[in-house]
């Protein structure tokens, strides 16, 4: 519903009212997976992998190449209110081709070349048609 509100001196403001509660539209938030999960997703859908991370140490999760999914974005979610506190890194991917693969992630410092990652995580991914 749109409502016009008059605010003195001839100003007119348009306000959009959005339903809240039981009548609110459902969101299509992507499914979030954690270490040890098996991922099954429909082709074209997005999904999120959430792993513990602490960017104040210089480490972050990165994804290797995968034939069936494409990396979309990454964001850090705070784990506490203390500076330098560990949190969670959420990596968003999009299913781009049907099939089965193993998505490999590495927890490393991108500025340290030739150094093996501190941690790795592998996810079995099935993209359905």
Domains in the chain, CATH or no CATH each: 30-128 (2.60.40.2020)
Task: Summarize pLDDT for 67-89 with one digit per residue, the tens.
Answer: 899 999 999 988 777 777 889 99
Distance CA 37, CA 106 (A): 16
Contacts of 10 (CB under 8 A, 6+ apart): none
Distance CA 103, CA 87 (A): 22
Output the pTM of the full model.
0.74
Mean pLDDT of the chain: 82
Q: Which residue has the tokens 């070349």?
A: 113
Residues of the chain with pLDDT > 90: what percent? 60
What is the rounded average pLDDT of the residues 38-60?
Answer: 95
Distance CA 76, CA 89 (A): 4
Phi, psi of 55 (to 5 degrees): -65, -20
């Amino acid at each position: 519903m749109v409502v016009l509100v008059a605010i003195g001196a001839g100003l007119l403001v348009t306000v959009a009212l959005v339903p809240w509660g039981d009548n609110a539209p459902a969101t299509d938030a992507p499914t979030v997976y954690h270490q040890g999960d098996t991922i099954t997703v429909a082709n074209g859908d997005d999904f999120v992998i959430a792993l513990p991370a602490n960017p104040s140490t210089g480490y972050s999760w990165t994804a290797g190449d995968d034939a069936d999914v494409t990396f979309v974005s990454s964001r850090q979610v705070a784990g506490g209110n203390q500076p330098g506190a560990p949190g969670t890194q959420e990596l968003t991917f999009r299913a781009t081709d049907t099939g089965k693969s193993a998505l490999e992630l590495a927890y490393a410092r991108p500025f340290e070349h030739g150094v093996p990652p501190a941690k790795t995580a592998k996810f079995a991914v099935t993209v359905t048609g």
